[in-house]
Amino acid sequence: MKFLQTLSVARRTIFLSLGFMLVLSVVRLITNANDITSSGTISSTMRVATPILLAGLAGLWAERVGIVNIGIEGMMIIGTWFGGYGAWKWGSWAGIALAIIAGSLVGLLHALATVRFNVNHVVSGIAINILAAGATEYLSIIFFKGQKGGGESQSPTGKGGYGEFDMPFLTGGRVGSWRSPDILGWIERKHDLPLLPDLAGFARGLLSDVYVPTLLAIALVPLTGYILWRTRFGLRLRSSGESPQAGESLGVPINRLRYQAMAVSGGLAGFAGAYLSCVFTSTYRQGQTGGQGYIGLATTIFGNWNPFGVLRGAILFGFPTALKFRDEKNVPALLLVVAIVLVVVAIISFTRQKQILAMGLLFGSALSATTYLLVDEVPQEFVAATPYIVTILVLVGAQQQLRPPAHAGAAYRAGENH
């Protein structure tokens, strides 16, 4: 395991990703569950994971500046409503833009409460969640009730589309009116080969039938990393979350940075909500977020407050759900995947002298493998709980490597002696 520690973050990510793809390939060959690495599953995973990814990035921007944003769920709710309203009136892209603006305003409201009036961050976030649920219900009665296709709990169907993307030659995208060859699709159908069709399916899933808003969300991951870790603004912003006193002593405008970061955080959460109402369904529905704001906050922690880690966490949550949507018969293969992953993590734990944790992981692996051998159909409750179970296990195993911003959630008033 010292080998991994010598690698850069990018190379380590590539190495671990290839290792996980190898596990999936082995399971595919053993179980004949071809859909677990198919391009359709990967494409569906990215669609399911996109709102979670955006919510996780919202939490990242907030906590890196020192504010715990429990109100992501409420900001997403606001985003779903304004996204549905904008899509109904002017089209999907207008709905997304309107949701981002509305989410940013709610983010500024959270900043006003926590920065100006020093309200407890958790209390302010919970208040925003409650107010958002009530406000959107009230607004629906005013604007949607009595409209064709609308009502007290949903908006009329939105106008226009959001666009899809297919890469020419690699995934059969069109060049004018001519449909180009589908090279990756041809490789993906070679199911008797190990790893190669799985990599082709993964690449094809990222490059075919992809929603343009999904591509924008993915592009925000490296953009966030660049801004926060490669710019002067990002350095100052992170200093606000690590040691605002030290930053203030060097002339960093802590309060202004927190307002700016919370506007970005709220905008990202609003975008996440609009994705649900403008892209997924083209209609706002009450309760549409389904707690995904809280899941996004969990991916912030899971990703160790790093944008690429947040992306991995979002995919982890989205993959089982996407596989269920594709073909429930392939879901039991996840049990075997979990068993193998737990064995690998247990070996790593043994090398780090964490014998008790390793024994627990081996027990979980044996339980998962036994369940796979004895059960023909996996209950849907288990499928829904799989990403949460895996996340808990990973968090337990990696708790020593997790390091939140030192001042996230702590009370702070600029200009005072601390």
Please compute the mean of the pLDDT values over residues 395-408 and round it to a whole number.
Answer: 73
Whether residue 235 has pLDDT greater than 90: yes
Structure-derived torsion over alpha carbons of residues 401, 402, 405, 406, reported in degrees to the nearest 10: -70
Please compute the mean of the pLDDT values over residues 26-31 and round it to a whole number.
Answer: 88
Asked if 162 and 93 touch (Cβ cutoff 8 Å), the reply is yes
pLDDT value, residue 34: 83
Q: Which residue has the higher pLDDT, 6 or 280?
A: 280
Whether residue 175 has pLDDT greater than 80: no
pLDDT value, residue 384: 66
pLDDT value, residue 126: 96
Rounded to a whole number of angstroms, the CA Rg of the chain reads 22
Whether residue 226 has pLDDT greater than 90: yes
pLDDT value, residue 207: 85
Please compute the mean of the pLDDT values over residues 100-117 and round it to a whole number.
Answer: 96
Angle of CA points 158, 49, 221, to nearest 5°? 100
pLDDT value, residue 83: 96
**pLDDT, tens digit, for every residue of 362-387?**
998 898 889 888 877 767 666 667 66
pLDDT value, residue 108: 97
User: Which residue type sits at 130?
Assistant: I
Q: 210 has which bridge partners?
A: 165
Given CATH 2.60.40, say whether it is the number of domain 36-166+209-326: no
Q: Which of 203, 277, 176, 239 is nearest to 43 (CA)?
A: 203
Overall residue count recorded for the chain in this entry? 418
Whether residue 233 has pLDDT greater than 60: yes
Whether residue 397 has pLDDT greater than 60: no
Calculate the average pLDDT of the chain.
87
pLDDT value, residue 71: 96
Whether residue 401 has pLDDT greater than 90: no
Say if residue 140 is exposed, middle or buried (CB neighbours under 10 Å; 0-12, 13-18, 19+): buried
Structure-token pair, residue 300: 């912030």
Q: Which residue has the higher pLDDT, 231 or 402?
A: 231
Please compute the mean of the pLDDT values over residues 137-155 and round it to a whole number.
Answer: 92
Structure-token pair, residue 226: 């660049």
Q: Which of 276-290, 315-329, 356-370 has the highest mean pLDDT?
A: 276-290
**pLDDT, tens digit, for every residue of 188-200?**
888 888 889 999 9
Q: Which of 167, 173, 175, 165 is nearest to 210 (CA)?
A: 165
Whether residue 286 has pLDDT greater than 90: yes
Q: Which residue has the higher pLDDT, 7 or 167?
A: 167
pLDDT confidence of 161, banded at 50, 70, 90? confident
Structure-token pair, residue 254: 């802590």
Q: Which residue has the higher pLDDT, 165 or 7?
A: 165
CB atoms within 10 A of CB 250: 8
Q: Which of 197, 338, 214 is nearest to 276 (CA)?
A: 214
pLDDT value, residue 391: 62
Helix (H) or strand (E) holding 301: helix 292-302
HSE-CB for 209 with a 13 A CA cutoff? 15
- DSSP class of residue 210 equals E
Please compute the mean of the pLDDT values over residues 379-396 and round it to a whole number.
Answer: 66
Whether residue 55 has pLDDT greater than 90: yes
Q: Which residue has the higher pLDDT, 202 or 385?
A: 202
pLDDT value, residue 9: 64
pLDDT value, residue 298: 87
Residues 6+ apart with CB under 8 A from 161: 92
CB atoms within 10 A of CB 53: 31
pLDDT value, residue 4: 61
Please compute the mean of the pLDDT values over residues 284-292 and round it to a whole number.
Answer: 92
**pLDDT, tens digit, for every residue of 238-254?**
999 999 999 888 889 99
Structure-token pair, residue 137: 């219900």
Helices H / strands E in the chain, number of each: 17, 4
**pLDDT, tens digit, for every residue of 75-89?**
999 999 999 999 999
pLDDT value, residue 15: 80
pTM reported for the whole predicted model: 0.90
**Range(s) within the chain of domains with CATH label 1.10.3470:** 36-166+209-326
